[in-house]
Amino acid sequence: MGIFLLIFLTAGITLLALTFGDEKQVQPISRERQEFEKLYSTYDTLNKDYYTDIDQDKIIDGAIKGMITSLDDPYTDYMDEKQAESFHENISSSFEGIGAEVQQKDNQITIVSPIKGSPAERAGLKPRDVVLSVDGKSLEGMSANEAVLLIRGKKGTKVNLSVLREGNTQPIKVSITRDTIPIETVYAKMLKDKIARIQVTSFSERTGSELEKSMKEMQAQGMKGMVLDLRQNPGGLLDQAMKIASLFVPKDEVVFQVEYRNGKKEIAKSQNTGGKPEFPVVVLVDEGSASASEIVAAALSESAGIPLVGVKTYGKGTVQTTEEFKDGSNVKFTMAKWLTPEGNWIHKKGIKPNVEVKLPEYANLPFISPDKKLSINNSSEEIKAGEQMLAALGYKPGTVDGFFDKNLQTAVKQFQKDAKLQQTGAIEGKTTIALMDKIRTKIQNNDVQLNKAVETVKKELAK
């Protein structure tokens, strides 16, 4: 019995898909099956007596989508030929779009995680942001794949999103210029005291090899400890997650388990041949760490005793597989649960880190549209966000209440002066972009989660 593994970074949605055993084939359905009597009868009636000719392919696709919608499972979906083509395109080395993983959750299209360095990240999109519309078209009732076809597009073109952030009552408008999104997944940097930070942003075809190479490069530079950063990592290819987990989890220790509906369990064990690393390791996680990255985090925590730092992870604990049809369409469906080495099911719960560290409030402020003018005597949620940004940067906008008063105008002018911009006293255009860039830089330079992870590595070194 072979092992068929299939986990994709798809067209905007993270899939964890694997099948232990032989790949299944789609079986033909006999018309004698009584449970399909109403379905066939309805089809025949419409085909014969509907007042206009019907599109038979569209009717069949709709019937399949109806069955899938009734399951109320955001990870089970039907993809027509065009959607399936986009699905397969996204596992290549690059694609064009905004660079954000999305899923359908509670009948809404929700951001799982923006890709590092992508237009979505630069625009300030965050995990759990709800995308209400794309270029004015409502996404209500759409599947994630349908939404992605609207969001994606050619490099250099703009897409306008209406986004609702958790805790806010009013949606914000986000204009994003699409770009080529390379699937570069490993970023290594040596920090002070010879502690390396290696960030893995997703699991694609070469991630395991890239991580091994980066670790060797850091060791050649005298690495004494390592922070494995899995924040904002929405998942990817399972074989790569297995390869990465096996670099840290001792040989034959459990990496994860799969449980089927009949109660049968399959256990995946570490393929490590080199033993546990001789240097201390800490893993960084956050609410954007999902799916395969949660498998790695749980495996390193429970089977290798490696501490987790950050905030609770996303919480995706189900397994999907796909059935391909001859016309190029496919059905993706949930076929099992995955469990941590100790048998915990983290679905909708996430993984709680050993050391909880939240980012400051200004790290989660909503996007402010550069196309919108925020000026004196107006009030809005975006003005409130501007006040909070200026306050975080050390300016004095007065009372943070969403009202653009004289105090805020003075603070804006001072910011514009320091940024060598025209002192209009209004937040718009270049001022908005500069303000958000400064906040992004502050978050990066004052990364309290990374600082705590480094501190934890140092404590391990001191033992």
- Residues 6+ away with beta carbon under 8 Å from 67: none
Buried-state track 265-298, b at ≥16 Cβ within 10 A, e below 16: ebebbbebeeebbebbbbbbbbbbbbbbbbbbbb
Q: How far apart are the first and last CA of the chain?
A: 46
Residue 110 parent element (H or E) = strand 108-114
Is residue 291 annotated as a catalytic residue, yes or no? yes
Q: Among 291, 301, 303, 329, which one carries the catalytic annotation?
A: 291
Q: Among 287, 294, 302, 387, which one carries the catalytic annotation?
A: 302
Burial degree of 362 (CB within 10 A; 0-12, 13-18, 19+): middle
Owner of token pair 């799969």: 258
User: CB–CB of 430/374 below 8 Å?
Assistant: no
- Residues 6+ away with beta carbon under 8 Å from 64: 78, 331
User: DSSP string of 286-330?
Assistant: -TT--THHHHHHHHHHHHH---EEES------EEEEEEE-TTS-E
- Token pair in block for residue 161: 């999103």
**Residue closest to 298 by CA, chosen among 358, 248, 368, 372:** 248
Whole-number Cα distances in Å, 457 to 8, 49, 192, 282, 434: 32, 72, 12, 6, 35
Q: What is the dihedral of CA 29, 30, 34, 37, to 10 degrees?
A: 80
Is residue 442 annotated as a catalytic residue, yes or no? no
**Residue closest to 249 by CA, chosen among 341, 343, 337, 317:** 341
Q: Among 116, 316, 332, 413, which one carries the catalytic annotation?
A: 316
CA angle 193, 309, 288 (to 5 degrees): 120
Residue 45 parent element (H or E) = helix 37-49
Residues designated catalytic: 291, 302, 316
